[in-house]
Amino acid sequence: MVLDDPSTRAPSAKNDAPWQHDKKKEDLQHIGKPIRKVDARGKVSGLTKYADDLVLPRMLHMKLLRSTVAHAEIVSIDTRKAAALDGVKGILTGKDMPITFGILPVSQDEHALCPDLVRFVGDPVVAIAATEEEIAWNACRLVDVQYREKQTIGGIHEAAATNEPRLHDYGVRGNIHRLENLEFGDMKDGFARAEHVREDTFFFEGNTHLPMEQHATLAHFDKDGKLTVWSSTQTPHYLHRALARVLHPLPAHHIRVIAVTNGGGFGGKSDPFNHEICAAKMSMLTGRPVKIALTREEVFFCHRGRHPVLMRSKMGVTKTGRITALDFESYLDGGAYGSYGTASTFYTGALQTVTYTVENYHFRGARFFTCKAPCGPKRGHGTVQPRFAIEVQLDKIACDLGLDPAQMRLDNLAPRDSLTANFLRIGSMGLGACIEKVVAGSNWKTRRGKREVTKDGRIRGLGLACSSYLSGAGLPIYWNGLPHSGVQLKLDRSGLVTAFCGSTDIGQGSDSVLGWIIGEVLGIDPLGIKVVTGDTDLTPVDLGSYSSRVTLMTGNAAMQAAERARELIAKGVADKLGVPANRLVFSNSRVFDAEDPKKGLTFQEAVIATEARFGTIGTVGSYTPPATAAKFRGGGVGPSPSYSYSATVVEVEVDPLTGVYRVPKIWMAHDIGRALNAAVAMGQIEGGVYMGLGEAMMEEQAYRDRVHKGNRIFVHRIPSMLEYKQPTGLEMPEIVTYVVEDPDKNGPFGAKEVGQGPLLPIMPAVANAVFDAVGVRVDENPVSFEKVFAAMAAKKEGKDARFGPSNGPDGVPDVDFGDSLKIKTPWQGGDGTAWNEPKREKKAAK
Amino acid sequence: MTAPPGPQKTLATFHVNGESHEVAFVPHKTLLEVLREEMNLTGTKHGCELGECGACTVQVDGTPVLSCLVLAVDVVGKQVRTVEGLAKGPELTELQHAFADMGAAQCGYCTPGILMTADALLAQNTKPTRDEIKECLAGNLCRCTGYIKIFEAVELAAARCRGEKAEPRKESIHGS
Ligand code: FES
Ligand code: FES
């Protein structure tokens, strides 16, 4: 087997667009500089409008009455008393919106209001609009809903063991939503060649995004019979689709969705939500604008956060730690609905291969329906939980083999410009540089394993972990061959450049990315560019702010549109000045002759000359990712135009008596391809580290399971910000950040993602650091103090020095995954198809 | 059914950002509600309305308070300052400039509350240490930034307010 045989290298992506990844840093005017974000002024002056800041004349306020039971048939709903209350203007129940919706075409399983079945405490049943918010609340209390309770399904093991009742009448069987079984290469041979094999079981508890802004929506069915919906959404395009579906026969082109600046999203605002559809329907019912602003408790019910995942990983390695075989199982607690769950399931198996070479790989994934708020995508979507498992397991393997965990990783890096066992195409790959940075910065080699004692008697430990993330999903949610992102530019005689794009700024800076790139290409001030985004009436489609896709995809679309404008202007100016177009330079808001810089026009004059010559100026750009190499069923999740890489070293100080630990310092290196804006990239990295630290130490979306008067009460344990623990500024450690730039040819100026990747390695690094300090393993995230204590107690008693799910046969549920799809790896001569795949009917996507 | 007779609205004059506002409001309304809903000062945000997040912080007689926990009637006769009252006309304060320069406002939702807390700190302490800044802002949650850029922005603003020609540290902007 030859892994670096050029024939197995990735064919270079079709790339006829000038993404300028090879531009030298010094030659760039704006890219990479710490210029302000285009929306900075509004945000520091309180003038930026978020959804709940919007008010329209005659606006009604809407509230949702939510289920108080975990699983039940709705026997009756009596809204008469509520309807009679002064000020109540409209009431909706499930029968008013019978059409289902959902983010993925394969799981359109949600109703705007439950018509006959509620599936978790918090499922909405009735919507009421009134002239004042308080009246709407009071009216909700007057509604009488009778339920006939059904068996609660509370978690992974329970769902696996319960065939009846089913929460949904679709899915694989019983309460299994999805089952995946993919086998790459020859597992038998892989394990036969292994010199060391380990099998471990891990659990990652769910957690939530907790954006500071609660979701809010304002809907207005206007005088023209057209609907406008302003919402705190990361995905206006998909909300538009869902509205058009549920509000049928209202034509899609009579619906306008405007994504208002999001007060944080992190994936939590990327589904179309029931409250958004209810507000729209209510506005159509009442003929008045309708607003709903969710309470914090309701945001916990919307959830779509990190899936709780149980994982079993069997890894075979050579003496140097090269992975000859990896057999990975994941069991996801999906909550009550499909949401992104199909993709989440695949993501728990997708990116194991892009950091270190995995020669043979078997992945099995199962997702279950349970009576919890639905899980979905949170920062790092589905790849976070397996990354925890893999990185902790590698640390254990390094220990077993007596290797340095950092060196072992360096020795086995997946090669750049290669295909992985599961046909992901790696381009630029800066993980090696990242590891070297954090190893040097933290003095890893001399400080690890030393168990230094602090003045207050705590024991120090260092833990290392790495990760990778996508720069956007290679395939869209609806497989339709259309661009993933489009940008239109309008240039007018005032010299103004306006960029129209469907992308949505959720705080990551996507509006600014448009400005920086267009400003760079046209040689004008990015802050002078007007950016119009996230409006389905005005802006070309961008699929949304998810999967870290925006910088790369809208960035490339913006670059194409700007290049076209530049070409046109160059022609206009060339004619006017009598200079060949290819000699013109665009810089400092001027267009001038490279050989005689004084000969030139201001940018505004250049636009005027061009408009005079060619008429009104407008250009478009769009972006579609390169075709994926994975052709097997399920190969649609994982491919990306490029992968970012991160490595971290976390330092902990553990109290050997109590297990309480603090994190004084973190070293983080992230391969971003190229930082389009230094300061903003740093902010994304630090924010990712913070959120990862919260997940590692304390955050969990947990449930309270009690019996009361013979009834099982199954409710969210912590639907408030006080109870849902998250780090404050006081807990934030010092962070030493290294920005590693390994430009990728698929990215605008070489840029890769930064919004999600740096979160991923923090949790396993914390677990590994705790081990380094006190010699116990916590195989369950969060690595909370009581788990460290429990593991230390077990160690003292001479038991396994570990806290985590059982490693025995009862540790994971007994699920029949059926036959695997078998795919030959690239180095076995595979072509990306499964050799045993049954023929698929081709269905045209809409 | 008609609504049970609700509490009568009361009329009061508020002093907000140096202006007087005469407002009729139900006396159980919080300052947050009256600012946002009756005075259209939507710069002040809310993340919980339970005193848990700090997004609603405003200054009352110079002291930061959680406006979701204060009844509007309790601030009658006092000087209220919100984020809209920071800038002098179009002129941003050093604190606001520093937040813009450092990228300390990502989604920007926590920013008004943090600015009001930090502004009160700088009014009292022209040279706060990192620990003092951390302590002071511990009640203001931010989910985006990881707080580092916020702390650095407050330090930068403090230095500039002292008349120093301060610029962001290179490691803060470009990494180590
Ligand atoms: S709104 Fe959260 S503390 Fe006031
Ligand atoms: S900037 Fe988004 S919450 Fe602080």
Q: Which residue from A561, A488, A556, A501 is spatially nearest to A533, judged by alpha carbons?
A: A501
Residue B76 domain-assigned (yes or no): yes
Provide the residue count of chain B: 176
**pLDDT band per the 50, 70, 90 thresholds, residue A842:** low
Extract the runs of DSSP E, i.e. beta strands, from A509-660: 530-533, 584-587, 590-593, 596-602, 617-623, 643-654
- DSSP character for A127? E
The CATH class for the domain spanning A309-474+631-811 reads alpha beta
Residues 262-291 of A with CB under 8 A from B: 262-266
For residue range A351-390, list pLDDT tens digits in order: 999 999 999 999 999 999 999 999 999 999 999 999 999 9
Average pLDDT (B73-97) is 97
* Dihedral sign computed on CA atoms, order A656, A660, A664, A670: positive
Are the beta carbons of A683 and B110 separated by less than 8 Å? no
* pLDDT for A277: 98
* Dihedral sign computed on CA atoms, order A533, A539, A543, A548: negative
* pLDDT for A708: 87
Average pLDDT (A155-181) is 97
Cβ B20 vs Cβ B36: under 8 Å: no
**pLDDT band per the 50, 70, 90 thresholds, residue A1:** very low
Alpha carbon nearest to ligand 2 atom 3, residue: B142
* pLDDT for A838: 78
Q: Among B102, B111, B114, B151, which residue has the most ligand 2 atoms within 8 Å of its CB, making it the best to mutate?
A: B111
- Domain A12-48+482-623 and domain A51-150+214-262+269-302, same fold? Reply is no
Residue A67 pLDDT greater than 50, yes or no: yes
Q: Closest-lying ligand to the alpha carbon of B47?
A: 1
How many Å apart are CA A92 and CA A124, to the nearest integer?
11
The token pair at A28 is 């760039």
Task: Give Cα A142 distance to the centre of its chain.
Answer: 39
- Between the CA of residue A552 and those of A18, A71, A237, A350, A513, what are the distances in Å? 13, 42, 18, 20, 10
CA atoms within 13 A on the CB side of A431: 30
Percent of chain A with pLDDT over 90: 95
Taking the centre of ligand 2 as the mean of its atom positions, its distance from the CA of residue A97, in whole angstroms, is 35
Q: Which residue from A582, B64, A617, B122 is spatially nearest to B55, judged by alpha carbons?
A: B64
What number of other Cβ atoms are within 10 A of residue A413's Cβ? 17
Residue B1 domain-assigned (yes or no): no
Cβ B95 vs Cβ B30: under 8 Å: no
> Who contacts A832 (Cβ-Cβ below 8 Å, separation ≥6)?
A423, A629, A630, A631, A632, A635, A823
Extract the runs of DSSP E, i.e. beta strands, from A23-175: 60-66, 72-78, 88-93, 117-118, 124-130, 144-149
* pLDDT for A98: 98
* Dihedral angle over CA of A369, A374, A375, A378, nearest 10: 170
Average pLDDT (A224-234) is 97
Q: Which of B36, B62, B85 is the last residue of a domain?
A: B85
Residue B63 domain-assigned (yes or no): yes
CA angle (A428, A430, A435) in 5-degree steps: 165
Q: Which residues of B touch A53 (CB under 8 A)?
A: 36, 42
Domain count, chain B: 2
Cβ A755 vs Cβ A510: under 8 Å: no
What number of other Cβ atoms are within 10 A of residue A225's Cβ? 9
Residue B25 domain-assigned (yes or no): yes
Average pLDDT (B67-76) is 98
Residue B4 domain-assigned (yes or no): no
Q: The tokens 């295909």 sit on which residue?
A: A419
Task: Give Cα A511 distance to the centre of its chain.
Answer: 18
At A693, which helix (H) or strand (E)?
helix A678-697
Same domain, B60 and B99: no
Q: What is the ipTM metric for this complex?
A: 0.97
Residue A249 pLDDT greater than 60, yes or no: yes
**pLDDT band per the 50, 70, 90 thresholds, residue A22:** confident
Residue A115 burial by Cβ neighbours in a 10 Å radius (0-12, 13-18, 19+): middle
Q: Which of helix, strand or coil describes residue A291? A: strand
Pick A690's closest partner by Cβ from B47, B110, B147: B147
Same domain, B39 and B70: yes
Q: Determine which of A17-31, A240-254, A650-664 has the lowest per-residue pLDDT on average.
A: A17-31
Taking the centre of ligand 1 as the mean of its atom positions, its distance from the CA of residue B67, in whole angstroms, is 7
* pLDDT for A11: 37
Cβ A742 vs Cβ A754: under 8 Å: no
Q: Which residue from B50, B7, B41 is spatially nearest to B26, judged by alpha carbons?
A: B7
Q: Which residue from A242, A388, A370 is spatially nearest to A310, judged by alpha carbons?
A: A388
How many Å apart are CA A652 and CA A664, to the nearest integer?
7
Are the beta carbons of B109 and A50 separated by less than 8 Å? yes
Q: Determine which of A12-26, A594-608, B3-17 has the lowest per-residue pLDDT on average.
A: A12-26
Average pLDDT (A764-793) is 98
**CATH code for the domain in which residue B76 is found:** 3.10.20.30
Q: Which residues of A touch B106 (CB under 8 A)?
A: 264, 507-509, 683-684, 687
* pLDDT for A840: 60
Q: Determine which of A15-24, A226-235, A516-525, B24-33 has the lowest per-residue pLDDT on average.
A: A15-24
CATH code linked to domain A51-150+214-262+269-302: 3.90.1170.50
**pLDDT band per the 50, 70, 90 thresholds, residue A846:** very low
Same domain, B14 and B52: yes
Q: Which of helix, strand or coil describes residue A145? A: strand
Residue A595 burial by Cβ neighbours in a 10 Å radius (0-12, 13-18, 19+): exposed
For residue range A267-276, list pLDDT tens digits in order: 999 999 999 9
Residue B5 domain-assigned (yes or no): no
Q: Which of B38, B54, B85 is the last residue of a domain?
A: B85
* pLDDT for A231: 98
For residue B89, the chain A residue with the least C-alpha distance is A45
CA angle (A357, A361, A362) in 5-degree steps: 160
Q: Which of B85, B104, B134 is the last residue of a domain?
A: B85
Q: Which residue from A184, A12, A686 is spatially nearest to B151, judged by alpha carbons?
A: A686
Q: Which residues of A touch B109 (CB under 8 A)?
A: 50, 211-213, 263-264, 507
Contacts 24+ apart (CB under 8 A), B38-41: B39/B14, B40/A55, B41/B16, B41/B17, B41/B82, B41/B84
> Who contacts A362 (Cβ-Cβ below 8 Å, separation ≥6)?
A182, A183, A184, A187, A325, A326, A327, A328, A820
* Mutation target vs B (from A45, A54, A233, A437; most B CBs, 10 A cutoff): A45
**Domain residue extents for chain A:** 12-48+482-623, 51-150+214-262+269-302, 309-474+631-811
The token pair at A91 is 């009431």
Same domain, B127 and B161: yes
For residue range A336-350, list pLDDT tens digits in order: 999 999 999 999 999
* pLDDT for A16: 52
> Who contacts B19 (Cβ-Cβ below 8 Å, separation ≥6)?
none
Distance from the Cα of B111 to chain A's closest Cα (Å) equals 7
Q: State which residues form the domain around B17.
A: 10-85
For residue range A478-503, list pLDDT tens digits in order: 988 899 999 999 999 999 999 999 99
* pLDDT for B64: 98
* pLDDT for A485: 96
pTM of the full structure: 0.96
Assess A724–B contact: CB distance below 8 Å, yes or no. Answer: no
Same domain, B35 and B104: no
* Mutation target vs A (from B109, B136, B156; most A CBs, 10 A cutoff): B109
Residue A787 pLDDT greater than 90, yes or no: yes
In DSSP terms, A60 is beta-bridged to A290
Q: The tokens 């997040």 sit on which residue?
A: B53
Residue B155 domain-assigned (yes or no): yes
Cβ A473 vs Cβ A351: under 8 Å: no
Which atom of ligand 1 lies at the shortest distance from residue B48's CA?
2
Same domain, B106 and B42: no
> What is the CATH T-level fold of the domain A12-48+482-623, as seen in this structure?
Aldehyde Oxidoreductase; domain 4 (3.30.365)
Which ranges in A402-489 belong to alpha helices (H)? 405-411, 431-441, 444-447
pLDDT averaged over every residue in chain A: 95
Task: Give Cα A370 distance to the centre of its chain.
Answer: 22
β-strand A196-204 against A780-781: which pairing, if any?
parallel
What number of other Cβ atoms are within 10 A of residue B77's Cβ? 10
**CATH code for the domain in which residue B120 is found:** 1.10.150.120
Residue A6 pLDDT greater than 70, yes or no: no
CA angle (A664, A665, A670) in 5-degree steps: 155
Distance from the Cα of B77 to chain A's closest Cα (Å) equals 24
- Residue with the bigger pLDDT between B152 and A2: it is B152
Same domain, B146 and B76: no
For residue A132, the chain B residue with the least C-alpha distance is B37
**pLDDT band per the 50, 70, 90 thresholds, residue A841:** low
Residue A574 pLDDT greater than 90, yes or no: yes
β-strand B79-81 against B57-60: which pairing, if any?
antiparallel
Peptide bond into A251 cis (omega under 30): no
Task: Give Cα A128 distance to the centre of its chain.
Answer: 33
* pLDDT for A459: 98
Residue B3 domain-assigned (yes or no): no
* pLDDT for A388: 98
**pLDDT band per the 50, 70, 90 thresholds, residue A710:** confident
* pLDDT for A5: 43
Residue B128 pLDDT greater than 70, yes or no: yes
**pLDDT band per the 50, 70, 90 thresholds, residue A25:** confident
Same domain, B98 and B142: yes
Cβ A501 vs Cβ B101: under 8 Å: no
Q: Which residue from A519, A462, A464 is spatially nearest to A495, judged by alpha carbons?
A: A519
